[in-house]
Each structure stands twice: as C-alpha cells, then as structure tokens.
Structure 1
Amino acid sequence: MSKIPTDLRYAMSHEWARSEADGTVTVGLSDHAQKDLGEIWFVDTRIGTVLAKGDIAGLVESVEAVLDVCAPIGGEVIAVNGVLDDRPESINTDPYGAWIFKLKPSNRAELDELLDAAGYRAAVYG
C-alpha cells in the first residue's frame, strides 16, 4: 500500500496539494500515481499558466505511460520545480518532496473539496 501523508489534500486524479504559510499551494503526484507510472523520465509544466480546477497543468512521462497532471484547485502557476528538469525520477524516490508546481490559488475554498488522506485511501484502495 502506498504512503498517504495526512497533512495533504488529494484529487481523484492522484495529485496532492499542500497549503503553504504564504498562501500558495504546492502540487505533486501521489505515491500511488508514481508507482503506477513506473520510472519517470520527463516532467513538463509552465509558469504563468492560469488554470481552473481540473485543467491540465502539465504532463509526466514514464517508461510505462504519459499522465496529464491536473490542477487540483484553480489558480496561476507561479513556480515549477526546476530539479525535475535534470532529475524527474525524484518523483519516484520522494513523491511528497519532489513537488511539480506551485499555484497562487484563485479560490482557496476549493482545497476543502479535495479528499483528506482517509478519503483518498478509501477511494484508491477501497
């Protein structure tokens, strides 16, 4: 069974979201998603993109598949994790440390609509 930190919120599309003290939201892929993908070798996102909840924010490519990374909440992409340009496999080794992008949220209340750890665990593993 995958690790599911309790301090994060989760989208059914397997992104996690962490509310930061400065009001931004950090987004990455869950442990479950990275295990399904296998070895990740490319990540693509763009700073400045304005997204609605559920919009495609970028993509992750692995040996197994290509996955659209969706915005778990709406907002503007204000940062991307440059480490992933050279070391995209960081998501495989540390899915909750190797974030993909940061959002300036347009509606912070959308965070409350995401699943907590128990809800995500139930949705993924029954």
Structure 2
Amino acid sequence: MLKTPTARGKGKSDPTLLADFTVTRKQRRAIPVIGDPDPDVLWRLDMFYTAVGLAIEERSGLVTPSMIEMKPMGASDDCFLRPGGWSLCRGIHRFSFETFRKLAEAGTKLVDDATAAIEAYPDVAWA
C-alpha cells in the first residue's frame, strides 16, 4: 500500500486519505451552506482536481495545472451575481462523494472527457 508524501496526508495509507473524500447523505445534510467553506473542503477540492490534472498529464503528455484557487475569505459578490453562481458556491461547502466508487467515476469521467478533447483538437491542446 502506498503512503502519500504530502504534508497533510503524511504517513496515511491510501484508503485513510481517500476517506476524507467520502461523506454520507446524512453527514452532507448536516454541513452548513452559509459562511466560509471549511479549509478541509477547499483542500479536498484542490486535491481532487490536482489528481485529475496529473492523470490527464500522464495520459496525454500535456502539463495540466489546476486553475482552482479558492480561499476561505468570505463569499464573493460574483457568487450571487452570476447565473447559477449561487449553486456553485453552495456546492463547494459539500464537495465530497458518497462512496469510493463515485469518487473514482467522477475523476475518471473528467480525465476521459479531457483526453477526448485533446485527441479531437490536438493543435489547440499543444498550442
């Protein structure tokens, strides 16, 4: 079993580290949707999309840095002014997956979609 070298997950096994990404429906309902997102949620969001980016890079050879940078500094006005923005901000508080399988499916779908786009438009991807 692999051990993760990151500071936050130092010395944790993969299942222990991935357990941070699973939240039951009951637990999700208990998460408040008003206020700053919990730093742990922001960490999960960052780690998930960083892993997706690394998998895309592994498949395609293209460097795909994560473009998400969120800080727990209060709700932005953009959340309320953009159409659909409120649901995005609201969803951030509850970013998690019900099972390991759903976590894997979500990540795989993002990687597959990105890889298909890279293959369909290689000139754009390599520009």
Q: TM-score, normalised by structure 2?
A: 0.25
**Which is greater in Rg?**
2
Q: Would you tell me which structure has more strand in proportion to its own residues? A: 1
